[in-house]
Amino acid sequence: MTCPICGKDSDPKYRPFCSRRCADIDLGRWLRGDYVIPGAALEEEDEVPREGDEAPQGRPH
């Protein structure tokens, strides 16, 4: 198996990557949103509580 980042042989310790560096590069790409799962985009729900839902508790001022 080869590393999906650089193409070198993968290391069982970092599988499927060859090193910690390549694993961190991949994680950074996920966190930045470079990777997406294909499919229809979903609309984000408003943060308005529905009847019966508890409103979030804030700190007293």
| Average pLDDT value for residue range 12-27 | 97
Q: Which residues contact 2 (CB under 8 A, 6 or more apart)?
A: 8, 9, 10, 18
Q: What pairs with residue 2 in β-bridges?
A: 9
Q: Using CA atoms, how far apart are residues 4 and 18, in angstroms rounded to an integer? A: 9
Does residue 36 or residue 21 have the better pLDDT?
21
51 is written with which tokens? 């009847």
Does residue 40 or residue 58 have the better pLDDT?
40
Could you read off the pLDDT of 22-53 as tens digits, one per residue? 999 999 999 999 998 888 877 766 666 667 66
15 is written with which tokens? 């599988």
Q: Using CA atoms, how far apart are residues 55 and 58, in angstroms rounded to an integer? A: 9
Q: Using CA atoms, how far apart are residues 16 and 10, in angstroms rounded to an integer? A: 6
Q: pTM for the whole thing?
A: 0.60
Domains (ranges, CATH) in the chain? 1-33 (3.30.50.10)
